[in-house]
C-alpha cells in the first residue's frame, strides 16, 4: 500500500484529492495531513479519516515517511515544499500552477533523482523521487483516444486549433489575500486557469514554435491579468488561438482540433466524459469512458510509482505548459512574438512571469 500525505487542508484537497485517494483505496492510503492551522487540520483529518495531523511539513516528513505527498497549498509555497518532499525521498503530486516561474520549475526538477537508500516507504534506491503536476484535464479517456489517433496519423495532419477557457471569478474569489498578486500566485488567469486547457492542447498538437499574445486587466481589482489571448504556431505548422478569461458570465471550456481528416471538439466546464466530445471522423470511438479528473491522473501517478518510472505531466512533459504560458506573458508584455526556447536564464521572464514589469 502506497502511503500518502496531504499538505494543505483546504477546498482543493477536500474536493479533488481526497475523492481521488478514495477512488484508489486499494492501492494508496492517506496517512497524514499538514496545515499551519491546527484546528483546520484536525477537522480535515476527522472528516476524512486521516490518522495523523501535523502543522509542520518537515516534522511530518520525518515522522510519517510518506511515499507520496499531495501538495494543495497556495502557489508561492509550492517550490520550497516540493523540494523539501523530494529531498526526503517522497514523490510529489502538486497542484497547478506548480510554481511561479521557469526558474522555480527547474529548481524543483533538479531536486528529483534516485531516492537515498532507506528512503520513505522502503523504496530507497528505486527510480525517483519524481514530481508531477496536477493537469487532470488531459487524463480522461476522450483526450487519451484523441492523442492515440493524432499520434498514429489516422486523422491526418493537424491544421487548426481553438483553446478557450471562459470562466467567471468574482469579488469573493479575489477577496482571498494571496490571489491576484504576482508575488504569491505568479500570474493571473492564464497560469491559474487556462493552463489546464493549454496543457491538453499541447498534449495533442505537440511542441509549439511561436506565440503572439495580449493580456489585460479589464475589470477585476487585481495586479495580474483577468484576460489573455494568443495566436500560436506549432512545430507541425498547425496554428491555434488561445483565449483565457475570468470575465465570462456564461462559463465554458472549449477545445477544437481540426485535422486534415476530421474535426474533434470538446465542450465542458471543469471536467468531461466521452459524451462531451464530438467528431466528424468515423474513427472517433473511445473504447472506454473514463471521466477527466484527479482520480484519472492519480492512477497514472500510482502506476509510475509502482514501476519506478517517471509519470506523465512530469519533467520535460510538465515543463512544456509552463514554458508556453511564460512565453505568452513575455509576448503580451513586450508586444513582440516569442519563440520556443527563447526564455533562458538570462531573460527576466525566466525568473518572473511578468518579467518584473507588472501589467
Is residue 41 within 8 A of residue 54, CB to CB? The reply is yes
Selection from 33, 36, 60 nearest residue 48 by Cα: 33
Alpha helices in 256-314 (DSSP H): 294-307
Give me the pLDDT at residue 87, please. 96
What is the rounded CA–CA span in Å between residue 285 and residue 276? 13
- The pLDDT of residue 113 is 87
Nearest to 206 by CA among 130, 317, 118, 109: 317
State the average pLDDT for the chain. 95
> Which range is least confidently modeled, 108-122, 195-209, 222-236, 314-328?
108-122
**pLDDT tens digits along 245-294:** 999 999 999 999 999 999 999 999 999 999 999 999 999 999 999 999 99
**pTM for this prediction:** 0.94
Q: What is the distance between the alpha carbons of residues 68 and 47, in angstroms, rounded to a whole number?
A: 21
Q: Which domains are assigned to the chain?
A: 2-133 (3.40.50.720), 137-292+311-351 (3.30.360.10)
CA distances from 184 to 176, 177, 314 (A): 11, 9, 23
Q: Where are the alpha helices (DSSP H) in the chain?
A: 11-12, 18-23, 38-48, 57-64, 75-87, 102-110, 141-152, 171-174, 182-185, 189, 195-205, 294-307, 315-334, 348-351
* CA–centroid distance for 219 within its chain: 26
Residue 120 has pLDDT above 80, yes or no: no
Q: What is the mean pLDDT of residues 311-336?
A: 97
pLDDT tens digit sequence for 43-96: 999 999 999 999 999 999 999 999 999 999 999 999 999 999 999 999 999 999
Amino acid at each position: 500500500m502506497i502511503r500518502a500525505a496531504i499538505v494543505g487542508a483546504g477546498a482543493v484537497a477536500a474536493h479533488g484529492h481526497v475523492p481521488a485517494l478514495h477512488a484508489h483505496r486499494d492501492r494508496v492510503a492517506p496517512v497524514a495531513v499538514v496545515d499551519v492551522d491546527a484546528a483546520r487540520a484536525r477537522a480535515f483529518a476527522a472528516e476524512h479519516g486521516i490518522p495523523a495531523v501535523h502543522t509542520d511539513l518537515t516534522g511530518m516528513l520525518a515522522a510519517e515517511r510518506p511515499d507520496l505527498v499531495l501538495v494543495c497549498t497556495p502557489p508561492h509555497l509550492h517550490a520550497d515544499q516540493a523540494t523539501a518532499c523530494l529531498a526526503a525521498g517522497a514523490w510529489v503530486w502538486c497542484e497547478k500552477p506548480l510554481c511561479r516561474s521557469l526558474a522555480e520549475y527547474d529548481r524543483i526538477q533538479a531536486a528529483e533523482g534516485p531516492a537515498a537508500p532507506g528512503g520513505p516507504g522502503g523504496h530507497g534506491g528505486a527510480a525517483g523521487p519524481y514530481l508531477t503536476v496536477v493537469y487532470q484535464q488531459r487524463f480522461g479517456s476522450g483526450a487519451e483516444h484523441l492523442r492515440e489517433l493524432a499520434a498514429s496519423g489516422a486523422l491526418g495532419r493537424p491544421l487548426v486549433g481553438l483553446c478557450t477557457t471562459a470562466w467567471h471569478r468574482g469579488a469573493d474569489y479575489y477577496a482571498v489575500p494571496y490571489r491576484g498578486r504576482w508575488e504569491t500566485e505568479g500570474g493571473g488567469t492564464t497560469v491559474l486557469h487556462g493552463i489546464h486547457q493549454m496543457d491538453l492542447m499541447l498534449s495533442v498538437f505537440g511542441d509549439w514554435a511561436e506565440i503572439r499574445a495580449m493580456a489585460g486587466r479589464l475589470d477585476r481589482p487585481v495586479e495580474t491579468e483577468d484576460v489573455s489571448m494568443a495566436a500560436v504556431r506549432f512545430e507541425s505548422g498547425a496554428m491555434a488561438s488561445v483565449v483565457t478569461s475570468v470575465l465570462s458570465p456564461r462559463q465554458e471550456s472549449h477545445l477544437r482540433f481540426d485535422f486534415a481528416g476530421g474535426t474533434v471538439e470538446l465542450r465542458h466546464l471543469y471536467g468531461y466524459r466521452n459524451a462531451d466530445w464530438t467528431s466528424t471522423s468515423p474513427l472517433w470511438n473511445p473504447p472506454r469512458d473514463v471521466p477527466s479528473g484527479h482520480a484519472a491522473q492519480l492512477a497514472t501517478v500510482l502506476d509510475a510509482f509502482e514501476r519506478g518510472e517517471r509519470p506523465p505531466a512530469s519533467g520535460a512533459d510538465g515543463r512544456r505548459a509552463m514554458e508556453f504560458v511564460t512565453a505568452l506573458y513575455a509576448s503580451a508584455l513586450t508586444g513582440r512574438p516569442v519563440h520556443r526556447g527563447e526564455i533562458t536564464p538570462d531573460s527576466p521572464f525566466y525568473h518572473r512571469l511578468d518579467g518584473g514589469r507588472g501589467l
